[in-house]
Structure 1
Amino acid sequence: MKPIEVLINKEVAAHIRSWRFAILIFLIILTFIASMYVSSSNLRSAITDLQHSGESFIYLKLLTTTDQSIPPFHVFLNFLGPLLGIALGFDAINGEQNGNTMVRLLAHPIYRDNVLLAKFLGPLLIISTLFTALVLLMLGAGLWRTGVRIEVQEFIRIIGFVFMTILYVAFWLSLSILVSIRFRHAATSALTAIGIWLFFTVFFPIIVNLFVRSFLPNPSYLTEKEFIDYNNLILNILRLSPSQLYTDATTTLLSPSVRSLGPITMEQMAGAIPSALSFRQSVLIVWPQVSGLLAATLMCFAWGYYLFMRKEIRS
């Protein structure tokens, strides 16, 4: 394990000393300040609502409450996470090749897979540290503002939210490393990764809505069961997008009252007790989203591994 540890330390040091990392830190600080300002300004009304409803998940409200002027914290991360993953991986391989350092790196007694693993694990370690520190800052600011002790279930749910965010960014990191292996120039790989992100974030929902309106019947003329099947079909198509999987998972983890990610009938709601779900039950709801993101990340990394191991590298 010694060669890969050296390579990971090299990648972490290279990223930390770059201007790119300073800009990303600046963006994360702005995210923290904006989210904390909005959450703090609406925290008192959120606490009042929780007292009326009998719940006590104050710190979950700190991460989800908003006054509609800016998105809540987890929506901010849905936008910032892909940019962070792409920025740390779009020139991971072709940057070394264009700088003629890949040949010298592989001239040492190390394996190619160690190089690729270090290119993935080094930025992932930085990302994990950044997001963990950001969430801990939010919790510390909430503790200082309210003085309320955090509950165990709240903390477990927030840890699950951090894990889901890291997994989401890991997908975009593996995708950006894949395009950096596939394309020779860093500008081409960056534009390709950003284009894929824009497609799934902006254009994919538009295409799905146009497709549904063109080929499926008008929802106004459907029965209740057909309308539910109609919406489930749309949601299942939208879940081909990584951002939709992340949104579903984080919404369920940070909102214990969410019982379903799709429409349900009144018969299904009959007899349901209006109480918060346990963390285990919420995980069972979002397990398809977690496994989908994990499978997409492994697929991108495996494809990049295959291309990198067969790639001809010369000076």
Structure 2
Amino acid sequence: MQREGSPWTGLAAVAAKELADHLSSTRMVILEILVVIAAIGAAYTAGEQLKATVAESSFAFLALFTTAQAPLPSFVSFLTFFVPLIAIGLGFDAVNGEQNRGTLSRILSQPIYRDALLTGKLMAGMGTLAMVLVALWLLITGLGILFLGLPPSAEAVARGLWFLVATLFYGGVWLAAAMFFSIVFRQATTSAMASLGLWLLLVVLWPLASQFLAQALEPIRYGLPQEQLAQLNLAHALARLSPNTLYGETVTALLNPSVRTLGPVFMAQLEGAIPGSPLPLAQSLLVIWPQLVSLIAATVLLFALGYLVFQRREIRA
């Protein structure tokens, strides 16, 4: 007998239940503790290094996120490493875990459709990521005020909020990928290994592979500038297939207002520009808009692929 009602019936209930499970799970608590410790260490070392130059730049507060001091990397580097792990931890058993416990068929026997179940799990994962990131951002902001002795400017706060949005959808890509693997593979260990394997491929191997592919597809035969530029553009395009590259470029332009382009720099682009002068936030958003939209589109595309597979999936235990 076909159920009546909207396919989104039960969406709020699923999202609230999954959110509560994520926030109380042991693995999330462990990951959050590690991230907080790393954030405090990175903020402390950056703050100590920036104390002497805080009066020389109106954007010294943003440098808290990007300044590194050996042996600790910057706060952004920590996020680049930990956010995919948190997202994968949230999504690798989102569907197959329910199926292996025999609860998936019982949930869907209630007035809850597959649409609401899968969307609710994504919303809960994104909500958990958002809570973690906002807490970290507030922590770094508070430590920055303590270490630097002055509050951030309005534009620094606005850039920080856009940085949060970019980081959220960077995590969303890995969350959607982990959920996709949890639908495709029956065992949670297999989906976890597939998610981590994809992460290692795109983080470690793809930057090197994109260089080799660019050299093979656009070889420099005569040493002409046009050939070198074509190879460089192709290498950048291939590298941007990785979410890490897209996120890195987005963060670079948001947290460093003097960045004017994310590709090859031509003299025509520097005409009339004062060296080192910061761009307004609106101009920086235009610079990173393709990268930010690509992160959002990748999240939506991976979720849509998982959704299509899940609609045709046998759910009986």
- Residue matched to 2:27: 20
Q: Call closer, same or farther: CA 1:268–1:15 in 2, change over 3 Å.
A: closer
- CA contact 2:98–2:104 (8 Å) conserved in 1: yes
Q: Which moved more, 1:19-28 or 1:179-188?
A: 19-28
1:128 is displaced (CA, Å) by 0.1
1:267 is displaced (CA, Å) by 4.1
Q: How does 1:1-315 map to 2 (within 5 A)?
A: 3-47=10-54, 51=56, 55-218=57-220, 222-274=223-275, 275-315=277-317
Letter in 2 for 1:3: G
- RMSD of aligned Cα (Å): 1.8
Give per-residue Cα distances to partners, 1:237-265, cap 9 Å, x unaligned: 10111110000001100000000101212
Q: Call closer, same or farther: CA 1:38–1:225 in 2, change over 3 Å.
A: farther
- CA contact 1:260–1:285 (8 Å) conserved in 2: yes
Between the aligned partners of 1:70 and 1:147, the Cα distance in structure 2 is 23
Q: Which moved more, 1:176-185 or 1:269-278?
A: 269-278
- CA contact 2:44–2:143 (8 Å) conserved in 1: no
Q: Which moved more, 1:210-219 or 1:64-73?
A: 210-219
1:151 is displaced (CA, Å) by 0.7
Between the aligned partners of 2:238 and 2:25, the Cα distance in structure 1 is 39
Q: Which runs of 5+ in 2 are unaligned?
A: 1-7
Letter in 2 for 1:36: A
SS for the counterpart of 2:62 is helix
Q: Which moved more, 1:23-32 or 1:136-145?
A: 23-32
Letter in 1 for 2:271: A
- CA contact 2:54–2:148 (8 Å) conserved in 1: no
Between the aligned partners of 2:54 and 2:232, the Cα distance in structure 1 is 33
Letter in 2 for 1:207: A
1:149 is displaced (CA, Å) by 2.3
Between the aligned partners of 2:206 and 2:149, the Cα distance in structure 1 is 43
Between the aligned partners of 1:268 and 1:164, the Cα distance in structure 2 is 25
Between the aligned partners of 2:214 and 2:312, the Cα distance in structure 1 is 42
Q: Which moved more, 1:266-275 or 1:84-93?
A: 266-275
1:93 is displaced (CA, Å) by 0.2
- CA contact 1:252–1:286 (8 Å) conserved in 2: yes
1:36 is displaced (CA, Å) by 1.5
Give per-residue Cα distances to partners, 1:101-138, cap 9 Å, x unaligned: 11111111111111101111112111101101101100
In the alignment of these two chains, the number of paired residues is 309
- CA contact 1:92–1:177 (8 Å) conserved in 2: yes
SS for the counterpart of 2:71 is coil
Between the aligned partners of 1:222 and 1:46, the Cα distance in structure 2 is 43
What TM-score results when the alignment is normalised by the length of structure 1? 0.93
1:215 is displaced (CA, Å) by 4.9
Between the aligned partners of 1:3 and 1:268, the Cα distance in structure 2 is 52
Between the aligned partners of 2:20 and 2:271, the Cα distance in structure 1 is 57
Q: Which moved more, 1:273-282 or 1:190-199?
A: 273-282
Between the aligned partners of 2:253 and 2:273, the Cα distance in structure 1 is 17
Give per-residue Cα distances to partners, 1:135-156, cap 9 Å, x unaligned: 1100111112222121111000
- CA contact 2:90–2:125 (8 Å) conserved in 1: yes
Between the aligned partners of 1:149 and 1:197, the Cα distance in structure 2 is 37
- CA contact 1:46–1:61 (8 Å) conserved in 2: no
- CA contact 1:228–1:264 (8 Å) conserved in 2: no
Between the aligned partners of 2:199 and 2:269, the Cα distance in structure 1 is 36
Letter in 2 for 1:186: A
Letter in 1 for 2:106: R
Between the aligned partners of 2:54 and 2:220, the Cα distance in structure 1 is 42
1:64 is displaced (CA, Å) by 1.2
Between the aligned partners of 1:181 and 1:14, the Cα distance in structure 2 is 19
Q: Call closer, same or farther: CA 1:233–1:212 in 2, change over 3 Å.
A: closer
What TM-score results when the alignment is normalised by the length of structure 2? 0.92
